Amino acid sequence: MTKLNRFLYIFGLAASWSLATHASAVNLTGAGATFPYPIYAKWADTYKTQTGISLNYQSIGSGGGIKQIIARTVDFGASDMPLKPEELEKNGLMQFPAVMGGVVPVINVAGVAAGQLKLDGKVLADIFLGKITKWNDPALMALNVGTKLPNETITVVHRSDGSGTTFIFTNYLSKTSPEWKSAVGEGTAVSWKAGTGGKGNEGVASYVQRIKNSIGYVEYAYALQNKMTYAQLKNHDGQFVKPDDTSFKAAAANAAWEKAPGFYELLTNEPGKESWPITGATFILMHKTQDKPETAKEVLKFFDWAYINGGKMAEALDYVPMPEKVQQLVRAAWKTEVKDNKGTAIWK
């Protein structure tokens, strides 16, 4: 049983991925991305024990989180797809990264072990475009000399719902395949050229596990949780790398957060010999002008606590904590961007 699986078992999480709340003087609400739900749940449980403050986070997908924070029905939204600076400005929002992880291609091919199959961006894009339809296609064989690949049809599995995971995946494909960029592009939902859809990371994982000769993409934690067969990827520097904490951190190390307006920074196809090419951060969205400043301050206190105390918990669940220098940039942004309706800074 993996770290994440043990955690989900211990806390008895429902299939709806709804974080139960406890009665307390303060109850914080958030909604959005499914990818960070396990670590937000762990942080919330520990924070509740230490402070008595509850956090109710609904794991409804990045698109839902963006809609709910714009509508002010939650105290914060969460999205694996960062909003561009102009989108933040239009909606009166600010955003900051909370934690990082990776998206990995997963397969179900008899006789092929985890980390044995090698892929590059172009070949992966051609598979999801429906151009490469057999596992023993010459392009796959050229990357996998010495690996026996069957003469079987590839079944493509993708997300059926709006997803930040899909955004990270398609952003990577758009950077590595001009044809993908022009034919499909990037987004939380795209017009897929091949395959069948599964809802959530868990839906894609389930389909790939059940369908022989299939390929899909999931967050790294789900690949580990379900003991799935992942592929290696050729990165920006031409090196084949496996997904793990080291390769995620290597990708994050080259990110220029200080030069990214609104923290709009994507970690896909980053340079570095050890960098995993489909790395991404997940983001928190809040209104710049707060009608409930005390509640907003409590939200910021929670994530400040998570930055300081939550790193080891994140690593235990196979996430990568934000570097200290990024944490300091975020705190500086809180001081200047989050204010009450009189224009007074909430975070000091």
User: What is the per-residue pLDDT for 2?
Assistant: 57
Q: What's the pLDDT tens digit per position in 86-125?
A: 999 999 999 999 999 999 999 999 999 999 999 999 999 9
Structure tokens that stand for 46 in this block: 């520990």
Fold of 3-100+280-340: D-Maltodextrin-Binding Protein; domain 2 (3.40.190)
Spatial distance between the Cα atoms of 173 and 181, rounded to a whole number of angstroms: 7
Q: What's the pLDDT tens digit per position in 38-91?
A: 899 999 999 999 999 999 999 988 889 999 999 999 999 999 999 999 999 999
Cβ–Cβ contacts within 10 Å for residue 175, how many? 17
Cβ 130 vs Cβ 137: under 8 Å: no
Q: What's the pLDDT tens digit per position in 219-241?
A: 998 898 889 999 999 999 999 99
Using the predicted structure, report yes or no on whether residue 14 has a pLDDT greater than 70: no
Structure tokens that stand for 171 in this block: 């952003």
User: What is the per-residue pLDDT for 22?
Assistant: 40
Structure tokens that stand for 266 in this block: 């994507």
Spatial distance between the Cα atoms of 336 and 348, rounded to a whole number of angstroms: 9
Using the predicted structure, report yes or no on whether residue 143 has a pLDDT greater than 60: yes
Domain 102-255 has CATH 3.30.450.20: no
Spatial distance between the Cα atoms of 111 and 144, rounded to a whole number of angstroms: 13
Q: What's the pLDDT tens digit per position in 232-270?
A: 999 999 999 999 989 998 998 878 899 999 999 999 999
How many Cα atoms occupy the beta-carbon half-sphere of 325 within 13 Å?
8
Q: What's the pLDDT tens digit per position in 154-189?
A: 999 999 988 889 999 999 999 999 999 999 999 989
pLDDT grade, residue 12 (50/70/90)? very low
Positions of CATH 3.40.190.10 in the chain: 3-100+280-340, 102-255
pTM of the model: 0.84
Bin 115: left if φ > 0, else alpha if -120 < ψ < 50, else beta. left
Spatial distance between the Cα atoms of 275 and 234, rounded to a whole number of angstroms: 10
Using the predicted structure, report yes or no on whether residue 1 has a pLDDT greater than 80: no
